[in-house]
Structure 1
Amino acid sequence: MTVGLFVPCYVDQFYPKAAIATLELLEKLGVKVNFPERQTCCGQPMANSGFAHLTQACDELFTENFADFDYIICPSGSCALHLKDHLHSSKYPEKAKQIQAKIYELVEFLVDILKVQDLKARFPHKVGLHQSCHGLRGLKLAQMSELVAPAFSKPLQLLHMVEALEMVTLSRKDECCGFGGTFCVTEEAVSVKMGKDRVADHIANGATYITGVDLSCLMHMEGILKRQGSGVQVIHIAEILNAS
């Protein structure tokens, strides 16, 4: 098994600890990880803003970097989904198509491919899980509450393996945080109100940490928490699953 690690640009710049935790966790589980050093942005910000034609150089570079791996792991649900759905290459059309089937968000890879049963992790805190829209409705990492269907949650499946961790039950477990990529810029007031509501749910139910698979959502909520002077912290799920 050859595995390539894709670290989204905002994770690299603002939350490198999440990327390091992802690498360490995979290595603990016996995965040999490669990190192509020429990697850059996946192109999602441009595509979300209506400028998909500007992502071509990103697509070509991504294809060149990751074409030869069996699996491509990404610790960001939104970036993983963008690549799964929108990676195109006029220069390497067949390679790009093949790559799309090999891209996995971290939790998805741990549960569906590695079938992890034991993490030997410990995190003695009360944790609230934010189920981001991309992860929930795009990657199907958990069952949507609006459907009358059997419940499941891949992130919770892993978090329940962590010793001393106490999960808190949210009042509205599937609610959007309001980040939405460039939505938080174009619709700032709506975005902030949604974020405040999401943060308030975690606080009201006793969470001292908020986790999730998307640091973009966590970053949005972290900004609100800091402005409120709250002691509640955000943490990527990889950092919890890698904690000892």
Structure 2
Amino acid sequence: MSLRHALLAVLTAEPMTGYNLLRYFDGTVAYMWQAPHSQIYPELRRMEQDELVEVQVVPRGKRAEKRVYSLTATGLAELRSWLGEPAPYAPERDPSRVRAAHFEFSSYAAARDQLRAHHAHYTTALVAWERMVDDLEAHRVPLLRSRLRQRPEAEHEAIVAFKLFAFRGEAAKARTEIAWAAEGLALLDHLEQHAVPLWGETPDETGQAEATPEPPESGG
């Protein structure tokens, strides 16, 4: 997926100014495909050059103007072509799993900090995704309401169902990550309670791990 396809997807709802496009993007697609605003306007210019969108300049007040972006037939064809292709999967690059696989070179305190941060991140994300699911179910999402107004009522069920399917998937992913972090924290507790040393640590007399001093550097 590219930013271009994400923007085309937003514009299928209705023509909109760059300001409104950013607002709708941040309120929907950005939950799954984040992009800084500094990248969006240049991409819209490139999309205009490629005739994926057309722009109408309309007055804004007495002296200013605003650009309204509309999806062209070419843009819709590009989106449909992208949707018709199997999604490519990028190679896995998960720093959290790589770190966890080598916690023995860390310390119990540092490993706990990592997993607590992971747990907190996905707990916050889960709240946002569950809120989005609730808002979609209640038709409180402005972009969804706009999209429904543009399409025949017979299509509404599918439109809402696909949005819910996507965001429920994000919520399920967050729950999995939260459970994984909790499992890791329990594992750390178990190992430390049994005085299992990590790299460079040895159990002290109370059964807790303490750092072992580094050996002096060799003079030769």
What TM-score bracket applies, with the shorter chain setting the length? under 0.3
* Structure holding more helix per residue: 2
* TM-score, normalised by the number of residues in structure 1: 0.24
Q: Which has the larger radius of gyration?
A: 2
